[in-house]
Each structure stands twice: as structure tokens, then as C-alpha cells.
């Protein structure tokens, strides 16, 4: 018996990294999961891994910023599994620059991805929550960042969007209490993903949504993580997923409108 038996979850950006680990964890605890990524290959890989482990899963491939995606995402859960109980807004990447060099395209792409897209997904879910009341608590977990809490040099776009998602979280926690929906956020510190594993000097680029984005962090950032983090290391995607899972459990039924900093106590 899993703690999430009978629940239905949608997890954006779950083909890789933190999102993948969240999807695997929720499925392992009994939830039926709609996985998503704009890269079909990795979305289908996550789907297959969950199926191989005996879980219930379906893939909804596409960018969360596409027109109409939010409704398609929600409808996939309802049509495939008969309901919707857990929403994890995780999809994202960074596209950094100091403010004087940041273009309007950079600003808009990141704000649309990290703030507008989650807003649209949550807006699309509201009619279902209102029309289908339940006697248990549904859960929303929005992924923010320590950059949204404390700021991040070179990340005015990302930090602003991640701060905004905290405001959205706290607002919907007040609006959706009447539907028995808990709305919380997690603010991750340094977690090792494909965007952070490489050193910046290695000139590693990733193709995301038709854009060639430079990945990696500087050696000084890596060194600072080792000295400022009480554990002396970055977090893993599985550890990040654990925090999301905690807020999806019945034990979190009276936690609402909170932002949990998941950074090993570095700040």
C-alpha cells in the first residue's frame, strides 16, 4: 500500500532531473502520473520506467508555454485516470545574464516558463476542482528557488519569476482552501541537474524549446557550495523530489501557503 494510492498527479518537466524523480516517487507511492516534457524521447523513457515498475502512467508531450497546453495537461489526467489530485509545477530552465545584457526575449521566455505557465495550468485545474469536491485534501506543489527568496546574481528574470511563484502559491492557498486543496512551494538550493553539473568553462550547451542555452556553473560557485553548505555538497534530484513528495502526503494536510527552503540550511 502506498501513501498516494488512488491519487492522480500531473508533473511538468518530468522527463529529466528533479521532475523525473518526482514522477518516479509519486508513482512508487501509488499515484497514477501524467509525465511531461517537450523532449518526447525522455518523456517516453520516464513513462516506460514507471510502467516497468508496475505504475500507472501516461505521457503528455509538449511545452508548458504552448497555447492550450494547460487544458490538455489537465484533461489528460481526467480522461486517462478519471481525476486530478496532485499538481507539481516543475518545468523550467535558466537563461542567465546581468541585467544590462539581458534581452526582452530572455526575460519573457523565463518569466513565461516559470510563472505564466504554472498560472495557466492552475487556472485550467480550477473548474475541475470546483465541480468535483472530495473528502480528502488535494495538493499543489510549485517549484520555486532560493534565487526567488534571496535573489541570484545574473538571474533577474529567473529570480523574479521564482519570487512570483511564491506569491501565486500564497494567494491560491487562500483561494482554494474551500476546495480542500493545499497549495505550497519548494525553493530549491543547489541541486545537481544537467543545467548545473558541468563547469561553465566546458562550454556545454543544451537545446531547449528551439534555443541553444549555455549550461554549467563557474568553479567558484561549485567551491562556494562546498564551503557554505552544511553537508559540503549539492543536493541530488532524488533528495529534491523527496521534499515535493512530503507536501503531497496526507501528513501535510494542514500545511498550506508555505514555501519550504530545500537547501540543506545553507542560508
Q: Which residues have a catalytic role annotated?
A: 158
Helix (H) or strand (E) holding 160: helix 156-175
Q: Which of 51, 53, 55, 49 is nearest to 32 (CA)?
A: 55
The residue behind cell 505557465 is: 117
Element (H, E) at 34: strand 32-35
The Cα-based distances of 88 to 93, 97, 117 in angstroms read: 16, 27, 12
Instruction: Measure the CA–CA gap between 231 and 192, rounded to whole angstroms.
Output: 14
Find the radius of gyration of the CA atoms of the chain. Answer: 18
In this structure, what DSSP letter does residue 114 have? I
Closest C-alpha among 151, 157, 144 to residue 99: 157
> 48 — phi, psi (to 5°)?
-65, -40
Q: Which residues pair with 34 in a beta bridge?
A: 10, 58
Give the residue from 151, 154, 143, 156 showing the smallest Cα distance to 114. 143
Burial class (CB in 10 A: 0-12, 13-18, 19+), 127: exposed
Residue 93 CA to residue 114 CA, distance in Å, equals 8
Amino acid at each position: 500500500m502506498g501513501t498516494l494510492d488512488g491519487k492522480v498527479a500531473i508533473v511538468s518537466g518530468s522527463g529529466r532531473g528533479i521532475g523525473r524523480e518526482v514522477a518516479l516517487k509519486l508513482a512508487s507511492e501509488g499515484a497514477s502520473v501524467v509525465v511531461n516534457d517537450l523532449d518526447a524521447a525522455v518523456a517516453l523513457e520516464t513513462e516506460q520506467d514507471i510502467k516497468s515498475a508496475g505504475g500507472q502512467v501516461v505521457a503528455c508531450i509538449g511545452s508548458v508555454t504552448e497555447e492550450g497546453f494547460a487544458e490538455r495537461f489537465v484533461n489528460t489526467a481526467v480522461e486517462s485516470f478519471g481525476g486530478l489530485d496532485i499538481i507539481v509545477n516543475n518545468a523550467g530552465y535558466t537563461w542567465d545574464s546581468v541585467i544590462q545584457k539581458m534581452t526582452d526575449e530572455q526575460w519573457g521566455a523565463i518569466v513565461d516558463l516559470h510563472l505564466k505557465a504554472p498560472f495557466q495550468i492552475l487556472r485550467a485545474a480550477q473548474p475541475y476542482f470546483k465541480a468535483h469536491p472530495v473528502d480528502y485534501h488535494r495538493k499543489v506543489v510549485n517549484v520555486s528557488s532560493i534565487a526567488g527568496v534571496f535573489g541570484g546574481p545574473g538571474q533577474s528574470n529567473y529570480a523574479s519569476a521564482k519570487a512570483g511563484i511564491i506569491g501565486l502559491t500564497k494567494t491560491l492557498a487562500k483561494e482554494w482552501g474551500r476546495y480542500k486543496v493545499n497549495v505550497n512551494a519548494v525553493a530549491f538550493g543547489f541541486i545537481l541537474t544537467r543545467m548545473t553539473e558541468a563547469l561553465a568553462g566546458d562550454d556545454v550547451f543544451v537545446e531547449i524549446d528551439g534555443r541553444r542555452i549555455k549550461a554549467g556553473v563557474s568553479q567558484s560557485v561549485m567551491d562556494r557550495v562546498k564551503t557554505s553548505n552544511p553537508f559540503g555538497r549539492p543536493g541530488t534530484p532524488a533528495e529534491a523530489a523527496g521534499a515535493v513528495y512530503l507536501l503531497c502526503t496526507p501528513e501535510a494536510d494542514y500545511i498550506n501557503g508555505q514555501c519550504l527552503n530545500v537547501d540543506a540550511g545553507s542560508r
